[in-house]
Structure 1
Amino acid sequence: MANENGKTVKIKLISSIIPTEGELEKYEMWLEGNCVEKGANHYLRYEEVQEETRIQTTIKLDEAKAFIMRSGGVNMRLPLNLGLRENGHYESPFGSLPIVTDTHQLSIEVTQSEKVSGRFKTQYDLIIGGNSVGQYTLEIQFTEVYS
């Protein structure tokens, strides 16, 4: 039976954004979270604090596709499906916005020997109002830590 709380993992998150009009923006964060296994899927969960706002993030990982769900300071559903355009949404205190992702790269690797570890990488165009606003790359590495 799967543990609902999952295993505690240390997460290295690297996010790169190349706006349609602008310079490369790159962010790196080290976080602590949980990795939960349910059936053939893994769920990576962590919390970010941005400008005193807490954002809960859950990433559903399976072999063919991924979903990034965020709640708290922002609410977002970001579907990632290699080679397909997918509809999602982004909500902030300023309003709701329909978004589309066009995923060019998606790789997921989870290993479970003595401890769970993995790597998730995706590259996608974010489309708002029919126009690409930039190319996004997200790379996450995670490794179980013992408490």
Structure 2
Amino acid sequence: MPHKLPSQPVHIEGETILHQAGEEEHYRFSAVGQLVQLGTTVYLRFNEDNEEAVPVTYKIDGPNSLRISRRGESQLTLQLIAGQRTQNVDVTPYGKLQIAAEATAVETEFDLADLRGTVSADYRIFTDDEEVGNHQIRLQFYR
């Protein structure tokens, strides 16, 4: 039976940097979320508060593998694996959009005994083999 750590409250601070259409945008956020461990997989769940609360889950599958799910107006799940291009779907109010994500770096480090860690990912987004954005995520969580 896989080891399961009960849901633990954690503070989450993060920054996303987007490079799109020749412009750079920075988004910073701070949230109280939940950390859950199931076997070797760690989940971070929190709400991003832009104009409305958007549920976000980071599923950490290993030191170089991350799945990010956002459930707002659109429903996006991105699989990021360092050095690989993955196929993903963004379900928008206007239909499904096929996108590819190419991660140049994915790094995760955590100490579950102290409930702290970091997640970082650098990746590019493509539609129809055309790059539409370059993204960087930096996130830290702590007790």
- Shorter-chain TM-score above 0.5: yes
Residue equivalent to 1:60:
59
Q: Tell me the distance in 2 between the aligned counterparts of 1:64 and 1:13.
A: 18
Q: Which moved more, 1:80-89 or 1:57-66?
A: 57-66
Residue equivalent to 2:128:
129
Counterpart contact for 1:59–1:68, Cα < 8 Å: yes
Counterpart contact for 1:125–1:135, Cα < 8 Å: yes
Q: Tell me the distance in 2 between the aligned counterparts of 1:50 and 1:30.
A: 11
Counterpart contact for 1:2–1:38, Cα < 8 Å: yes
**1:27 correspondence with 2:23:** no
Alignment of 1:28-47 (within 5 A): 28-47=28-47
Counterpart contact for 1:55–1:74, Cα < 8 Å: no
Residue equivalent to 1:75:
75
**1:2 correspondence with 2:4:** yes
Alignment of 1:44-123 (within 5 A): 44-52=44-52, 54-61=53-60, 62-113=62-113, 115-123=114-122
1:3 Cα deviation after fit: 4.3
AA at the equivalent of 2:65: K
Identity of aligned residues (%): 25
- The aligned length equals 140
Residue equivalent to 2:18:
17
Runs of at least 5 residues in structure 1 that lack an aligned partner in the other structure? none
Counterpart secondary structure, 1:139:
strand
AA at the equivalent of 1:18: H
Counterpart secondary structure, 1:83:
coil
Say what the alpha-carbon RMSD is for the aligned residues.
1.4
Q: Tell me the distance in 2 between the aligned counterparts of 1:95 and 1:51.
A: 22
Q: TM-score scaled to structure 2, two decimals?
A: 0.91
Where in structure 1 do 4 or more consecutive aligned residues deviate above 4 Å? none
AA at the equivalent of 2:74: V
Q: Tell me the distance in 1 between the aligned counterparts of 2:72 and 2:23.
A: 28
